[in-house]
């Protein structure tokens, strides 16, 4: 996968994650964040497991989750 396409997918995943958090608002439960991270990463990365792992790591940091 080209570097530009990879970065585009990562940015899209970050935007999707932010949209989901905004939609949930104050009703978001901290325990549901890992599931949300996994869902967004899987959707953005498709079959690319390496990309999914990278997106997961970025979204976990963004959400304040520690691996």
> What confidence score (pLDDT) does residue 35 get?
93
- Structural domain including 35 reads 3-63
**Count of structural domains, the chain:** 1
**What are 10-38's pLDDT values in tens digits?**
999 999 999 999 998 888 888 899 999 99
Instruction: Note the pLDDT tens digit of each residue in 35-65.
Output: 999 999 999 999 999 999 999 999 999 988 8
DSSP 5-66: HHHHHHHHHHHHHHHHHHHHGGG--GGGHHHHHHHHHHHHHTT-HHHHHHHHHHHHHHHT--
Residue 59, CA atoms < 13 Å, CB-side half-sphere: 31
Torsion of CA 12, 51, 42, 9, to 10 degrees: 20
Q: Which pLDDT does position 67 carry in this prediction? A: 58
- For residue 53, the model assigns a pLDDT of 96
């Amino acid at each position: 996968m080209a570097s530009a396409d990879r970065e585009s997918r990562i940015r899209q995943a970050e935007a999707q994650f932010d949209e989901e958090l905004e939609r949930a608002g104050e009703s978001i439960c901290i325990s549901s964040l890992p599931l949300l991270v996994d869902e967004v990463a899987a959707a953005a990365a498709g079959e690319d497991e390496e990309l999914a792992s990278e997106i997961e790591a970025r979204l976990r940091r963004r959400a304040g989750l520690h691996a």
